[in-house]
Structure 1
Amino acid sequence: MSIEITVLILLAAALHAGWNALIKISGDRIAVMAVVTLAGSMLSLLALPFVDSPDIASLPLLALTILIHTGYHFFLPIAYDHGDLGQVYPIARGAAPILVTLGALIFAGEQISQMALIGVLCLAVGVMALAFDGRKPGRINPRAVFFALATGVCIAAYTIVDGLGARQAGSILGFAVWLTIGDGILTFLIALLWKRREIVVVVKTNVLTGFAGGAMQVSAYWIIVYALAVAPMGMVSGLRETSVLFAALISTFVLKEGFGVWRFLSASLVTFGLIISRSKT
């Protein structure tokens, strides 16, 4: 994996942690997610004239990933209703790298080196450990864990489908733009049936937050879809999970959730995994 792709993935990770923090702190979380994804769709529509349409062969995968992303958009805010950013985010992200690596092996025949595999394992263990802060044993809500794990399954599933779809699409960015248009509109329409009043409140009070979140969300998606098309899926997913480090900083300095020895050690393991996952041996 080239240094340029690595830097792009780390940028996407920072953007991803940022919009997740906005979902956590900005009001009714499903309503905020609906506004964020709709804003992302509107920004994607602006980009539509400048990208090629995805090949027709990729459309079934495009439809499938839109559905998976939409499920993710609901599981994540529900998890945040029951748990802290510093706990939910690592559980959701930590389940993905191993699942993606296995899925890429099974469905795409993709191989990675033993050192890269060790790096992915370190990343997964590190981000999962971040959720179980030893200073707060008993603070984990079972519902938060359930919905965070469901979010992680969605992440793993859409990562694999995005990678396969982008490789078939002919136009990587075209696939990404169509994806963010479709999942944003579908998420908003479903949420509108459920949270109409709350969405109106968000639009009146937090519309700028919604557009900021939407810009970060689609930018992160576009970068990752591009990376999935040109680099090994397992390694991309592993590097992407360094967003947990950015979320840990937000959790500590913005949300004041604390950053003790346990989280420091977990974050160090994530960093070690990042270094090892880029090894070519």
Structure 2
Amino acid sequence: MSGLVVAVILFAALLHAGWNALVKAGKDAFFTSVLVVSGAGAISLAALPFLPAPAPASWPMLAATTAIHYFYFGLMAAAYRHGDMSLAYPLMRGSAPLLVALASAPLLGEQLTAKQYAAVACISAGIFSMALAYRRPDAAAGGAQPRHGRAVAYALLNACVIACYTLVDGVGARRSGAPVAYTMWLFVFAAAGLLAWTLLRRRAEFRAYATAYWRAAALGGAGTLGSYALSLWAMTMAPVAAVAALRETAILFAAAIAVIFLREKITPQRYAAIALIACGAALMRYA
């Protein structure tokens, strides 16, 4: 994996952590998710006339990933509604690389090296360690540890969804011959479906929310579109499982955002987990 590809993936990870923080910070996680996707869809509509169309062979994958993404955004909003970002994000993003690595060999015919498998394991172990080291401020002060069963369940279920769309899009981006256009069509279709469903069920509430928080559509839309487009481009240059694992270093950026902007506490155990993730990222770079 070249230095350019690694740099692109890390920047995509930063963008991903940023727009997830926007969703978590919003008063309604699902409405904010719809705004973010709608922003990405609007940017995509403006850019698509200037880009080559994806190859016909990729359109079945595009249809499949659009449907999968409906579940992704719904489960992400549910996980953030029931738990902190520092709990849900590591579980969602930490499980996916293991699932992708296990599935990419039989499904995509990719064979990772021993060092790459070690890097996948190292990054995933670090992220899981962060989730296990999670503490709320009241628990750290001696209070009872609160239960977050629903947040954990939604996050782990979403990890399976993430693994599914990662594999589908890894194939789709390669077949498309135009990974950026492929990504933009994905967000156009996802935005259309989510907006239609939301306006059908909660029109008045969503209009009021969108009027108050329209900036989330612009910032989050640009962030999620840029993050995913860069990741798909990287998947055309390197093995899907390797890209998926390195992209999960977004947890490093998410940890900093959670401390600085969301005022969440990071314990020494979680700092150790961050170091483990960094070691995995370095191993992936030189594997």
- The alignment's TM-score, normalised by the length of structure 1, stands at 0.96
Report the counterpart of residue 253 of structure 1 in structure 2: 260
Cα distance in 2 for partners of 1:194, 1:33 equals 16
Report the counterpart of residue 184 of structure 1 in structure 2: 191
Query: Is 1:29 equivalent to 2:29 in the alignment?
Result: yes
Report the counterpart of residue 216 of structure 1 in structure 2: 223
Cα distance in 2 for partners of 1:148, 1:40 equals 23
Q: Which runs of 4+ in 1 moved over 6 A?
A: none
Report the counterpart of residue 44 of structure 1 in structure 2: 44
Cα distance in 2 for partners of 1:220, 1:182 equals 17
Give how far 1:135 is off. Answer: 4.4
Give how far 1:227 is off. Answer: 0.9
Which stretch has the larger CA shift, 171-180 or 57-66?
Answer: 171-180
Report the counterpart of residue 9 of structure 1 in structure 2: 9
Given candidates 141, 145, 152, the residue that maps to 1:145 is 152
Give how far 1:185 is off. Answer: 1.7
Give how far 1:133 is off. Answer: 2.0
> Judging changes above 3 Å, is the alpha-carbon distance between structure 1 residues 266 and 165 closer, same or farther for their aligned structure 2 residues?
same
Give how far 1:52 is off. Answer: 1.0
Amino acid paired to 2:86: G
Give how far 1:157 is off. Answer: 0.7
Give CA deviations for 1:200-253 in whole Å, capped at 9, x if unaligned: 122111101221111101111111111112211111011100001111111111
CA contact (8 A) 1:28 1:198 kept: no
> Judging changes above 3 Å, is the alpha-carbon distance between structure 1 residues 81 and 143 closer, same or farther for their aligned structure 2 residues?
same
CA contact (8 A) 1:73 1:187 kept: no
Report the counterpart of residue 251 of structure 2 in structure 1: 244
Given candidates 183, 193, 201, the residue that maps to 2:200 is 193
Query: Is 1:225 equivalent to 2:241 in the alignment?
Result: no
Cα distance in 2 for partners of 1:198, 1:31 equals 9
CA contact (8 A) 2:35 2:217 kept: yes
> Judging changes above 3 Å, is the alpha-carbon distance between structure 1 residues 164 and 212 closer, same or farther for their aligned structure 2 residues?
same
Query: Is 1:123 equivalent to 2:91 in the alignment?
Result: no
Given candidates 258, 261, 286, the residue that maps to 1:279 is 286
Cα distance in 2 for partners of 1:198, 1:43 equals 24
Cα distance in 2 for partners of 1:195, 1:129 equals 38
Give CA deviations for 1:94-149 in whole Å, capped at 9, x if unaligned: 01101111221111110111011101101111111111226457334110001101
Which stretch has the larger CA shift, 97-106 or 80-89?
Answer: 97-106
CA contact (8 A) 2:86 2:134 kept: no
Structure 2 unpaired stretches of 5+: 140-144
Report the counterpart of residue 142 of structure 2 in structure 1: none
Query: Is 1:91 equivalent to 2:98 in the alignment?
Result: no
Cα distance in 2 for partners of 1:162, 1:173 equals 12
Cα distance in 1 for partners of 2:79, 2:202 equals 17
Structure 1 unpaired stretches of 5+: none
CA contact (8 A) 1:22 1:209 kept: yes
Give SS of 2:257's match.
Answer: helix
Report the counterpart of residue 174 of structure 1 in structure 2: 181
CA contact (8 A) 1:127 1:267 kept: yes
Cα distance in 2 for partners of 1:216, 1:186 equals 20
Aligned length: 280
Give how far 1:255 is off. Answer: 1.2
Amino acid paired to 1:184: A
> Judging changes above 3 Å, is the alpha-carbon distance between structure 1 residues 232 and 122 closer, same or farther for their aligned structure 2 residues?
same
Amino acid paired to 1:62: L
CA RMSD, Structure 1 to Structure 2 (Å): 1.3
Which stretch has the larger CA shift, 47-56 or 78-87?
Answer: 47-56
Give SS of 1:159's match.
Answer: helix
Give how far 1:61 is off. Answer: 0.7
Percent of matched pairs sharing the same residue:
36
Give how far 1:195 is off. Answer: 3.2
Cα distance in 1 for partners of 2:119, 2:202 equals 41
Report the counterpart of residue 107 of structure 1 in structure 2: 107
